[in-house]
Amino acid sequence: MKIVLCMKQVPLKDSQLKISGDNLWVDEKNLNYEINESDHYGLEAALRLKEQHGGEVIVACIGPGRAKQAIQQALAKGADRAIVINHEAPLADSFTTAKVLAAAIKPENPDLVLTGLQSDDSGFGQTGVVLAELLGMPHATLVMEIQVDDGRLKIKRELESGWFQYIELPAPAVLTVQSGYAPIRYATIKGIMAAKKKPMREMTLADTGVDLNSGGVKLRKMYVPVKTKRTQMLTGDAKSVAAQLAEKLKNEAKVI
């Protein structure tokens, strides 16, 4: 079973973020990075399936040179090889990200593609869904359990209010894995040493054939919202105050 895990490196959760001078991203000078949280669980899901059914786990990642640190962690935990698309600047939207990943993944003809539910930095939660469309594969999101039975995938999905949904999908498919899928393993000393010898195929954005200027989101500016506060006291009896409040919610706040 050939499984591709799409992984992203993101700033540590407790990082103090500041917007860069060009107002297009955050200042990365003093930041430390880690594997995106839900991608950790996607990796764990991939490794467990490999242990049960055999095959290989391939890690695919878009990012600058520092992203190789995250890839090495995945290889040390048990992934077999990696595909690295080198690109220094962050991609602006999920559609562009998915197009690049699809171009890199498609030649592998995987049996299963896994992504984390969403990234901790942008949080769009759409890359896996768009990737499935571009690869022409069925997909499921919020995945909490994966079973493979005679070429079909039995999936447990997390819904709202503690509910779950059980569905079946044909393989190959794209699944986005929810955080908490299963306990995350640690890399062993043996795994860390073995990771140094595992294949890592490097590509450029040009190799994928994706044009960043064709469609997608154009990021113009990032900024911190200006905090404002204005208090207005409503006076009169309860009936009068209720009428004033309703009028302001309707005509000023425009929420009703």
Asked if residue 20 is part of any domain, the answer here is: yes
Give the CATH number of the domain where residue 9 resides.
3.40.50.620
pLDDT at 24: 82
Contact 35, 95 (CB under 8 A): no
Residue 217 domain-assigned (yes or no):
no
Q: What is the pTM of this model?
A: 0.83
Residue 239, in any domain of the structure:
no
User: Which positions ≥6 away from 93 have C-beta within 8 Å?
Assistant: 124, 216, 217
Residue ranges making up the domain that contains 111: 2-208
Residue 166 burial (CB < 10 Å; 0-12/13-18/19+)? exposed
Q: For position 175, what pLDDT does the model report?
A: 96
C-alpha to C-alpha distance for 207 and 143, rounded to whole angstroms: 32
Look up tokens 């039995």; give the residue. 154
Q: How many domains does the chain have?
A: 1
At 90 the pLDDT is 80
Q: What is the largest CA-CA distance in the chain?
A: 78
Whether 159 is in a domain gets the answer yes
Tokens of 112: 């299963």
Q: Which pLDDT score, from 0 to 100, does residue 101 have?
A: 96
Domain membership of residue 25 (yes or no) is: yes
Which ranges constitute the DSSP H helices of the chain? Answer: 37-53, 67-77, 94-105, 127-135, 189-195, 205-208, 238-251
Instruction: Measure CA 231 to chain center.
Output: 40
Please check whether residue 95 lies inside any domain of the structure.
yes
Contacts 24+ apart (CB under 8 A), 23-30: 23/221, 23/222, 23/223, 24/219, 24/221, 24/222, 25/89, 25/90, 25/222, 26/222
Distance CA 204, CA 206 (A): 5
Tokens of 76: 């040390």
- Cβ–Cβ < 8 Å for 85, 62: yes
In a domain, 242, yes or no: no
Cα–Cα dist 255/67, whole Å: 43
Asked if residue 48 belongs to a domain, the reply is yes
**pLDDT (tens digit, 0 to 9) for every residue of the chain, 256 residues total?**
999 999 999 998 888 888 888 888 888 888 889 999 999 999 999 999 999 999 999 999 999 999 999 999 999 999 999 999 999 888 878 899 999 999 999 999 999 999 999 998 888 899 999 999 999 999 999 999 999 988 899 999 999 988 999 999 998 999 999 999 999 999 999 999 999 999 999 999 899 998 887 767 888 888 888 887 778 889 999 999 999 999 988 888 888 8
